[in-house]
């Protein structure tokens, strides 16, 4: 049986693609090339499904949520607040999994930030 090897890309619609791409580069530090290619660090990737009525993604109209691994959740959230980003006040910790925080990008997409345990 053939198997997928990993996430090959994540594609989003945007009212202003250049501005949204700049936000991810400037606020989250995503170093992408002119084709959108980003060389991420090795680490775990979670693929999970949720009930259709979940509020975990924020707005019910959001069908999927992007999750980024971070080294230091508190430092990342502080950096985002300094840049005026819409950062959720609450964080969550799951024993053996890590800590989570959330930011909403300028187009209203809730993004999860994960500091693995």
How far apart are the C-alpha atoms of 71 and 109, rounded to whole Å? 22
Report yes or no on 37 lying in a domain: yes
CB neighbour list of residue 115: distance below 8 Å, 6 or more residues apart: 69, 70, 71, 72, 73, 98, 99, 100
* Rounded Cα–Cα distance for residues 4 and 37 (Å): 19
Taking a C-beta distance cutoff of 8 angstroms, is the pair 8, 95 a contact? no
| pLDDT tens, position by position, 44-70 | 999 999 999 999 998 888 999 999 999
- Whether 43 maps to a domain, the answer reads yes
Residue 102 counted as domain residue:
yes
Sign of dihedral through CA atoms 102, 99, 11, 19?
A: positive
Q: Is residue 12 part of a domain?
A: no
Domain count, the chain: 1
SS3 17: helix
Here the tokens at position 33 are: 């090339």
pLDDT string in tens for the chain (117-residue length): 888 778 888 999 999 999 999 999 999 999 999 888 999 999 999 999 999 999 999 888 899 999 999 999 999 999 999 999 999 999 999 999 999 999 999 999 999 999 999
User: What's the CATH number where 54 sits?
Assistant: 3.10.180.10
Which positions ≥6 away from 80 have C-beta within 8 Å? 27, 28, 87, 103
- Domain of 49 in residue numbering reads as 17-116
Prediction pTM value: 0.89
């Amino acid at each position: 049986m053939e198997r997928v090897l990993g996430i090959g890309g994540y594609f989003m619609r945007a009212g202003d693609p250049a501005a949204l791409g700049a936000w991810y580069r400037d606020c989250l530090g995503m170093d992408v090339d002119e084709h959108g290619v980003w060389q991420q660090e090795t680490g775990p990737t979670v693929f999970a499904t949720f009930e259709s009525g979940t509020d975990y993604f924020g707005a019910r109209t959001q069908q999927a949520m992007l999750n980024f691994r971070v080294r230091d959740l508190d430092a990342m959230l502080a950096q985002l607040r300094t840049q005026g980003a819409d950062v959720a006040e609450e964080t969550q910790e799951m024993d053996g999994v890590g800590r989570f925080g959330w930011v909403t990008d300028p187009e209203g997409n809730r993004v999860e930030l994960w500091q693995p345990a």
